[in-house]
Structure 1
Amino acid sequence: MFNRRHITAALLLGSLAFSMPAVAQSDVKLTLDWRFEGPAAGFLLAQDKGYFAEEGLNVTIDTGNGSVEAIPRVATGAYQFGFGDINSLIKFLDEDSSQPVKAIMMVYDKPVFSVIGRKSQGVTEDPKSLEGKTLGAPPPDGAFAQWAAFVEAADIDTSGITLESIGFPVREPMLASGDVDAVFGFAFSVILNLKANGVPDDDIATILFADNGLNLYGNAIMVNETFAEENPEAVTGFLRALAKGFADAVSNPEEGAAAVLARNETLDINTETERLTMANEMNIRTPYVVENGFGGIDEARLSASIETLKISMGLQGNVTAADVFDAQYLPPAEERMLP
């Protein structure tokens, strides 16, 4: 079991990284999709272990408020890099293809989009069990954005379903108290937050969109194109550092969780280790990634995703896979292999 000594060690590691001999550093900012939780470990280890510094980068990492909000932050240039939902990025560019933002590294090869319910309220792993239920839906949530496509893929009758708009802070408490029957969200976040709210494991039903006909990609690293065109080596260095950080988070989730708690000691080390392990197994270290390396995409699969998003997001067909994902900044595949 981890304790405060491990967290202190992580902090010392970070201080050692920044005590390296001084070199010219470029200041850049990264906005995450959410708070500092287990799945953010890859970013934080890249910072704490000096991988960004080795590439001449001084990176500021800020939290976010949903996987959609990172996109305009990067497009406006407020942040050079962002971590957010590639499907929402596709929608964003379909509406205005002149926006200077692209995805450059895939992180969630399998998306975490899900509806999580309680078996005691009649929800099972069968999507059709949602019929007639009340679902809590945070408007900025990436999973909720795919509801229309998921309804079609899973053949769900929505006539008796009530969608209730709720905020992120009350999502799990409302499900735990029975005010809603299920909620939209990222599986590794909702499940563990429910357990923290007293819901037992055997009462939690997880419906993953990816396991029920919706073969989309998930969250990706995005870059401001103006910055990338002017600083291509910095962008490649940023991705090389991230590949190392995520490899470390896969090989040693406990170390990754300690890096998270170094930013927020109110969290529980065991919970964040479990959350990170879930993300690694479900979303990051997929069979495709094991074979082809972390960060890349299958262009045909992304093209098929765009066709699916015409259903869920009402795309006009103004973008192609090449308009959305730019692989030129990725380091060689051998530098992106996960353990």
Structure 2
Amino acid sequence: MLSKRHLIGLFAGLVLSASGAVAQEKTKIKFTLDWKYQGIHAFVFWAADKGYFANEGLDVEIDQGTGSAATVTRIVSGTYDAGLGDVNAIIQYAGTKPGDQPKMVYMLYNTAPFALIVKNSSPIKTLKDMEGRSMGTPPGGATGQLFPALAKLNGVDASKVSITNMAPNLQEQMLMNGQVDSSAIFSVTSYINLVGMKVDPDKDIRWFYFSDLGVDLYSNGVMVSAKLLAEKPKAVAGLVKALNRALIESAADPDAAIAGMMKVEPLMNAALEKQRLTYAFRQHFVTKETDENGMGDIKDDRMARSIKLLVDTYNLPNTPKVSDIFDRSAMPPKSERILKLAK
């Protein structure tokens, strides 16, 4: 029979083993990207490779996306806990089903990459010329979903524009082949894709940027489910901390960032994806506003104007508050969110 001393020792060992298992258990987070793998996603995998998620007690599973607006439905359905997606899709969801919407906890695109593109030879020279023409867009694409807001502000009858749904990877190809008259795109995706197709995006393509036509919106960032934010705020803070650090380090060393991304998707064109990453940083991520507030944050009055624009455009039954859409409680201090671009 075991002695009392042996029993005490055995019990102590079991307690230590159990406490060690609890200490090692990490919070699992299913994370969806906004699109198929691209260079702009390098910072997410940088956070994983460098152990930043693990350091915060997180086990993050990363999947490709199908559109930045689709991220909202993926999270609301419970399939994903967090991801990269469009804040305007959160506004639209909260305007119809308040309470269930995800919340943005870190803004990436301080200026939105929403644009319509047409061939330079196209008869579409003004937005009004879109009437009677076709527009291609992926079903989950935020740009296509926001077209009615652009149309309303610019006196265009959106009902006179026929919509052609297409796979994300066919947008530029179908435009150049004449299968659609225009395409509703993300500039960071299409600009570099066109370069890869040997098309000069500055000379061969006419661009209608939403931001130049009265639609001054924020765009994609890190969003989390309402459940995760309420029940595990420490995990959300850890997720944001890891991604923020990775983003800043990726900006400082884009070659290393893309090298890491190539391990995820070896078939990528490294040179094009580096160009895409640096384009996103310079054109959309880093602005005078981020210089003032740091990466990830927003201006509440600007967000309130965006909410009003979307509520008015889509006749939403509810008007969300800024706090219903954006939560900055998980963000690191501003001193840790200052981004310096590589020269």
TM-score (norm 1): 0.86
User: Which residue of structure 2 aligns with residue 55 of structure 1?
Assistant: 56
- Give the match's secondary structure for 2:53: helix
Radius of gyration: which is bigger? 2
Q: 1: CA distance between counterparts of 2:315 and 2:198? A: 39
Contact 1:116 1:187 in 2 (8 A): no
Structure 2 unaligned residues grouped into runs of 5+: 1-22
Which deviates the most, 263-272 or 44-53?
A: 44-53
Q: In the alignment, residue 188 of structure 2 is paired with which amino acid?
A: F
For 1:67-78, list aligned pairs within 5 A.
67-78=68-79
For 1:1-339, list aligned pairs within 5 A.
24-99=25-100, 101-123=102-124, 127-128=127-128, 130=130, 133-156=133-156, 161-201=161-201, 202-339=203-340
Contact 1:119 1:203 in 2 (8 A): yes
Q: 2: CA distance between counterparts of 1:57 and 1:23? A: 10
Could you give the per-residue CA deviations for residues 292-316 of structure 1, whole angstroms, max 9, x where no partner exists? 1111111111111011102443322
Distance change in 2, residues 1:179/1:51 (3 Å): same
Q: 2: CA distance between counterparts of 1:82 and 1:137? A: 21
User: Which residue of structure 2 aligns with residue 4 of structure 1?
Assistant: none
Structure 1 unaligned residues grouped into runs of 5+: 1-21
- Root mean square deviation, CA, Å: 2.1
User: Which residue of structure 2 aligns with residue 15 of structure 1?
Assistant: none
Q: 2: CA distance between counterparts of 1:273 and 1:198? A: 17
Q: 1: CA distance between counterparts of 2:42 and 2:90? A: 23
- Give the match's secondary structure for 1:271: helix
TM-score (norm 2): 0.85
Distance change in 2, residues 1:158/1:81 (3 Å): closer
Contact 1:150 1:214 in 2 (8 A): yes
Distance change in 2, residues 1:327/1:157 (3 Å): same
Q: 2: CA distance between counterparts of 1:220 and 1:331? A: 15
Q: 2: CA distance between counterparts of 1:79 and 1:164? A: 28
Q: 2: CA distance between counterparts of 1:168 and 1:225? A: 28
Distance change in 2, residues 1:137/1:79 (3 Å): closer
Q: In the alignment, residue 34 of structure 2 is paired with which amino acid?
A: D
Q: 1: CA distance between counterparts of 2:334 and 2:58? A: 22
Could you give the per-residue CA deviations for residues 152-190 of structure 1, whole angstroms, max 9, x where no partner exists? 333446686443333323222111212223200101111
Distance change in 2, residues 1:247/1:127 (3 Å): farther
